[in-house]
Structure 1
Amino acid sequence: MHILLSGIVGSTAYGLAHAGSDIDRLGLFAAPTEQFHGLHRPTESQVTTAPDRTLHEAAKWCRLALSCNPTAAELAWLPAELYEVRTPLGEELIGIRRSFLSERAVRNSYLGYATQQFRKLSSRDPSDETSRRRAAKHARHLVRLVRQGLALHETGELRIRLTDPERVRELGERCADRPELAAGLLADAESRFDRSGVLPAAPDEGPAESWLRRVRLAHLPSPA
């Protein structure tokens, strides 16, 4: 395995971490090119819990990024200090990150993930404090996803680190008690997504295709 790009993601990257928060890592790797020539394709994802780390093979990461998967896409938009591995090929990928974006995929992915968080916080048990804490966490993620998705739609930039994490925490607490506030946030986001944004209708797959070919060439076995 050759890790091309890896960094710290999740609550630490967003500015929402607290004492005791897990440190989540995300990365992408290149499988040896010769492994694609047999009956079975190489493993496309590796997930560990000690440490908490997810690694995607380069082609899988590109497919996820072209669908604007929020969890995968943030790897190419991290603040510089959060990268732990940043190879030349990883640097190239950061350089083409905007080519993965498209209007429909951003809307579907970010609103879709935010709606999932709304369903989770709406199913809370008000009499159970643990359930309420989980609801507040879901609400914080809902707020983050809405903000990130709208920023992409309106500016073409993915903002990983929240500028006002304390306000997001406070809003999460209020939404845990009053889910209708979160419903209002979603309704407002849908209205803004209905307006014209800056993203193209479809992603430009050309840069990703060229980059993957360079990755495969770089990881061919050396001549005997």
Structure 2
Amino acid sequence: MRPAIPHVLLSGIVGSTAYGLAGPGSDFDRLGIYAVPTEQLHGLHWPSESHVFTEPDRTLHEVAKWCRLALGGNPTVMELVWLPPELYEVRTSLGNELIDIRRSLLSAKRVRDAYLGYATQQFRRLENRGDGSFSADTRKRNAKHARHLKRLCHQGLELYTTGRLTIRVDDPQEYHDFGEQVATEGADAARPLLAEYEAAFDRNRSVLPGQPDETAAEAWLFRVRAHFYDRLRTQDAP
């Protein structure tokens, strides 16, 4: 039996479904954040900071861990606060407050390094898997890595230059075509696109600050902790 996760503040459908790239066999990926009960922060053992489930796929991060990842520019966690409204399954008032401060969590260097870094990871996986001729499964995985490489480059540059993140891609077929091209021709077919975006990051000036506003994130965390502390005091009142 799965453990019940209390105090989920924000949760939604992410991944290929959110990007508009899901196919007939794609899974629904869910990402969310939760706050541990206040009293557990003062005990002998620090509570778990993440819970990962499968069938269906769902990842939940404790609010402090999520903030640390977001402040580092992590693309996977960042998309949670930029989802289209219809993709949220849990959206509390504290979750809305986090969405309101999402841009303050960003910084130019960390966004650049994180998005290009994740895109490069996808490229390395393509190189390590070969040209996809060995099996249908390898070809399918290569196409997926190529699609995500292109998406990460595009979304990262958008976030870097505009301070906004559009989750759903404009032309899904363009991404599927690119994935099939790379799956057929091999990793070298993706190399020019990665180089193009690296040059675009160098060429464009970012609207983002040099450092993220950690004070905004910490102030939100304090509001979360205070909320559940007040709730604890109410419960314990004689």
Instruction: Bin the TM-score by the shorter chain.
Output: over 0.9
1:192 maps to which of 181, 200, 207: 200
Count residues with an aligned counterpart.
Answer: 224
1:5-20 alignment runs, 5 A limit: 5-20=10-25
Q: 1-side partners of 2:215 and 2:144: how far apart?
A: 38
Greater Cα shift, 87-96 or 115-124: 115-124
Provide TM-score, normalisation by structure 2: 0.91
Provide TM-score, normalisation by structure 1: 0.97
Cα deviation code 1:197-223 (max 9, x no counterpart): 111110011111110000001111124
1:36-185 alignment runs, 5 A limit: 36-126=41-131, 127-128=133-134, 129-178=136-185, 179-185=187-193
Q: 2-side partners of 1:57 and 1:43: how far apart?
A: 8
Cα deviation code 1:138-181 (max 9, x no counterpart): 00000010011000111111111001011100011112233223
Equivalent residue letter for 1:158: L
Equivalent residue letter for 1:200: P
Q: 2-side partners of 1:160 and 1:120: how far apart?
A: 23
Identity %: 62
Structure 1 residue 132: Cα displacement: 1.6
Structure 1 residue 118: Cα displacement: 0.4
Q: 1-side partners of 2:181 and 2:30: how far apart?
A: 29
Structure 1: state its 5+ residue gaps. Answer: none
Structure 1 residue 13: Cα displacement: 0.1
Structure 1 residue 124: Cα displacement: 2.6
Structure 2: state its 5+ residue gaps. Answer: 1-5
Equivalent residue letter for 1:209: E
- Give yes or no for contact 1:26–1:53 (8 Å, CA) kept in 2: yes
RMSD: 1.0
Cα deviation code 1:41-100 (max 9, x no counterpart): 111000100221000000000001000111111000000000000000000000000011
Structure 1 residue 10: Cα displacement: 0.5
Structure 1 residue 113: Cα displacement: 0.6
2:31 maps to which of 16, 22, 26: 26
- Give yes or no for contact 1:100–1:204 (8 Å, CA) kept in 2: yes
- Give yes or no for contact 1:122–1:135 (8 Å, CA) kept in 2: no
Equivalent residue letter for 1:143: K
Equivalent residue letter for 1:102: S
Structure 1 residue 190: Cα displacement: 1.0
